[in-house]
Chains A and B, each alone.
Chain A
Amino acid sequence: MLRYTVKRLLQLSVALLGLSLLLFAWFKALPGGPENQLLPENATAQQREALRAALGLDEPIWVQYADFLGRVVRLDFGSSLSSGRPVATELADRLPATIELSLAAMLIAVGVGIPLGYLAAKRRGSWLDFAAVSGSLLGTCIPIFFLAAMLKVVFAQELGWLPTTFRLSAGTEYTDVTGLRVLDGLITGEFDVAWDAVLHLVLPAIALSSIPLAVIVRITRASVLDVVGEDYVRTADAKGLKPSVIRGRHVMRNAMLPIATIIGLLLGSLFAGAVLTESVFSFGGIGSFVYQATTERDYPALMGFILVIAVFYVVINLLVDLSYGLLDPRVRVRK
C-alpha cells in the first residue's frame, strides 16, 4: 500500500507540473503579453519596459518559468486586477463556501443514493425500483439552475420553511476557523450557528445534489445487480451467513468499487453546478468571483482559480485512487 501511495503521488506531481507548464504557456500567449492587461492604454514605452523588468519578462524563458513556478508554490498568484487584493486572499475568502456546499451536496447524494440504489436493485421490478430509476432519470434532466430556483420559490419564499439566501442569518456572530460554517460552529461549540448554517445549506445542497444523486442511484443499482449474481455471494449464502453480513462484507464491498470512482468524478464536476446554485442563493462562494473575473479578463484571478481547481481535481483523484487501493486488494502492487 505504501509503494502504491508513493507511486500515485509521483504520478500526481507530474500531472501538476504539466498543468503549470500549460498555464505558463497560456499566460505568455495572452494578447500583447500580460503587461498590457496591467498598463493603462496610453502607457509610454519606458513604463512598459519598467513593468516588463519588474515582472521579469526580460529574463530568459526558463528563468521566467522557474520564477512563475516559485510564486505558484508560494500561492502568490499576484493581485486581482479588479479588486487589487491578492488573488490568494480572494480565493481563501470564497472557496470555503463552495467547498462546504459541495461537500453537503455530496453527503446527500451518497447518503441517499447508495441505500436507494441498493434497495432498487434488491427489489428489482418493484414500484420502488421503478420510482428510483425514473426519478434518477428526471434528476439528470432538470437543469440545476431551474431546480434551485424552484426549491427557493417553494420552500423558502412560499412556505417560508427555510432561508432564501446567504450562509447565515443576518447579524449572526461567528468564529472563523476553517471557513466551513457548520464545522466551525461544531468546533467552537456555537451550535446555534452550526444549525443556522445547516438551514442555509439545505436548499442549495439539495439542488446541487440532484445530478450526483441520480448518477449514484443508478450506478449503485447496476453495480449491486452485477455483484448479487456473483458466485462468491452464493458462497456467502452457502455459509449460512446473516443477510446483514452478506450485504455489507460481500455485496457492498465489491459493489463500492465502481461507485467510488464515480463519486470522485462527480466531486470534480460539482464545481460547475456550484457556480449556478450559489448565484441563485447568493451563497458567496467562488461562483460570483469567477463570473466577475471572466467578464473583466482578470487574468491573475482566473489563473489562481484554475490552479486551485486543478489541485482539487488532482487531490480528489488521488483520494479515489487510494480508496480504490483500500477497497480492492488486486489494485495494490503485488508483493
Chain B
Amino acid sequence: MALLEVEDLRVAFGNATAVDGVSFSVEEGRIVGLVGESGCGKSVTSLAVMGLLPKGRGGRRAKAPEPVQAAAAEPAPGAVKAAAAAPQAVPAGGGRRSRGGADVSGRAVFDGTDLLALTPAAMRRRRGKDLAMVFQDPLSSLNPVVPIGRQITEVLERHRGLKGAKANQEAASLLDRVGIPDPVRRLKEYPHQLSGGMRQRVLIAIAVACAPRLLIADEPTTALDVTIQAQILELLKDLVEDEGTALLMITHDLGVVAGMCDEVNVLYSGRVVESAPVRELFARPTHPYTVGLLGSIPKLDLPIHEPLTPIRGSIADVIRWKDGCAFAPRCDRVAEACVDGEPPLIGSAHAHRCVRAEEVA
C-alpha cells in the first residue's frame, strides 16, 4: 500500500466546490507531481491532506452542494445541453480565504491512518513530524518578528524534544544542510534580513527538521528568481533522495515536472484527469487537457513562427463532474457521450478520465 492514498477527496467552501473527488497516491520515497492551471484545486488538496483548511460549519461534513438546474440558459454549443447545468460550481479566480470554513470529505490514508478522521490534537502531533509542507511565498510564510533560529528550534522542541543549546546546534546543522552559509550567525537573524532564496531554504529546513516521511511542496519556487528556482528544486530533490522522503510536488510548471517527478497527476477542475509515470505522460498524453497543457509550453525545437496553442476558454467554464466531463466546454473533441454522466477513470498505471480517448487516438 502506498504511503499516502487520497481517495475521493472533496472540499467545498460553502456552495463552491474547490476539490471534486480527487484520488491519487504517493509511494514511499517517490516524487509525485500534481499539476494543473491556477484555481484547479492544487493548494486546497494539499491543505486538506495537511489538515490546514479552516474548519467548516459544525459537524456537517461536505453535504454535496445542490446543483443549479439548467433553466433558461442557452443551449451550449455543439449540442451539449447539459453543459448549461451548474454554471457556478467553482467561482472564477477570486473568492480566496472566504470567511466560512471548508467542508472536507473523502479519505487521505497516510501509513494506514485516515488523516481526515484524526482529531485536531492527533493531527497536530503528526504535522511537522510525519508529514511537512513547504509553501509558495517564503517571505509571508515566515514570522517577521521571530528570529529564524527560533522558528526552527520550536519544531525540534515540539517533535524531537530538543531544547536550548542542543536545539540550536541542530538548527544550525539544518541550515547548513539546506546550503545556508554561516548558519550559527544566521540563527539570530530575522526573515527580512535574508534573501528570497535563503528564506525558502529556511522553510525547507523547517519542513525537513523532523525527517518527515512525506513532504508536500506547494509551488515552492514560483515566488523566486529564475536562477534561484533551479537551485531550490535541486536542493529539494537532493534532500528527499538522501532521506528516502516521499515528495508531493505541486506546480503548474511542466518543466519542473519533467525535471523532478517520477509520476504525475494532472488536475482539472478539482479532479484528476490523467495520471501516469512522467516519461509515459510526456510521450503519450491521452487526455485532451493534458495534450493542451503540453501544447501550450514553448518548445525550443519548434520554428519561431510556429504559434503556441493555448487551451481556449478558462477554468471558469465548468460543468460539475457528476454531470459530465468538466473540460467539455473547452474541449475540441467534445461529443454527446462526454456529458452523459460522470466520466470514469480508465486504466491503472496510465489512467485518464476521457470517454473518447481511445476512439480518437
Chain A contact residues, CB within 8 Å of chain B:
229-232, 234-242, 245, 249-250, 253-254, 257, 327-330, 334
Contacts and interface: CB of A to CB of B under 8 A. Distances in A.
A130 to B, nearest CB: 16
Contacts of B127: 237-240
A239 B140 contact: no
A129 B361 CA distance: 60
13 contacts: A234-B135, A235-B203, A238-B135, A239-B154, A239-B155, A240-B126, A241-B124, A241-B155, A245-B154, A250-B143, A327-B145, A329-B147, A330-B145
B83 interface: no
A240 B159 contact: yes
B143 A236 contact: yes
Contacts of A232: 140-144
Contacts of B150: 249
B145 A329 contact: yes
Given A239-B132, A253-B146, A257-B145, 19 more contacts: A231-B135, A231-B137, A231-B141, A232-B144, A235-B141, A235-B203, A236-B143, A238-B127, A238-B128, A239-B127, A239-B155, A240-B123, A240-B126, A241-B128, A241-B158, A249-B143, A329-B144, A329-B147, A334-B193
Contacts of A334: 193
A238 B52 contact: yes
B198 to A, nearest CB: 16
Interface residues of B, number: 32
Interface in B113-170: 123-129, 132-133, 135, 137, 140-147, 150, 154-155, 158-159
A249 B158 contact: no
A328 B154 CA distance: 19
Contacts of A229: 97
B186 to A, nearest CB: 13
Contacts of B144: 232, 254, 328-330
A249 B30 CA distance: 35
Contacts of B141: 231-232, 234-235
Given A240-B124, A242-B124, A329-B145, A231 B154 contact: no
A240 B131 CA distance: 10
A229, A232, A328, A329 — which one has the most chain B CB atoms within 10 A of its CB? Answer: A232
Contacts of B133: 238
Nearest to B140: A231
Contacts of B129: 240
Q: Is the interface of A mostly helix, strand, loop or mixed?
A: helix
A334 B194 CA distance: 12
A235 to B, nearest CB: 5
B126 to A, nearest CB: 7
Q: List the 3 closest pairs (A to B, CB-CB), nearest first.
A: A240-B127, A240-B128, A239-B128
A330 B193 CA distance: 9
Contacts of A235: 135, 141-143, 203, 206
Contacts of B146: 249-250, 253
A305 B302 CA distance: 83
A328 B97 CA distance: 26
B63 interface: no
A330 B125 contact: no
A134 to B, nearest CB: 20
A239 B145 CA distance: 17
Contacts of B155: 239-241
B211 interface: no
Given A239-B155, A250-B146, A330 B124 contact: no
Contacts of A249: 143, 146, 150, 154
A254 B137 CA distance: 18
Contacts of A330: 144-145, 190, 192
B50 interface: yes
B132 A238 contact: yes
B154 A241 contact: yes
Given A235-B142, A328-B145, A240 B158 contact: yes
A231 B35 CA distance: 22
Nearest to B206: A239
Given A240-B126, A242-B124, A234 B52 contact: yes
A129 B143 CA distance: 27
Interface string B45-64: 00000101000000000000
A234 B132 CA distance: 12
Interface in B154-207: 154-155, 158-159, 190, 192-193, 203, 206
Contacts of B154: 239, 241, 245, 249
Contacts of A327: 145
A231 B141 CA distance: 5
Contacts of B50: 238
B124, B125, B142 — which one has the most chain A CB atoms within 10 A of its CB? Answer: B124
A240 B135 contact: no
Nearest to B126: A240
B158 A242 contact: yes
Nearest to A328: B145
A155 to B, nearest CB: 40
A92 B136 CA distance: 59
B40 to A, nearest CB: 20
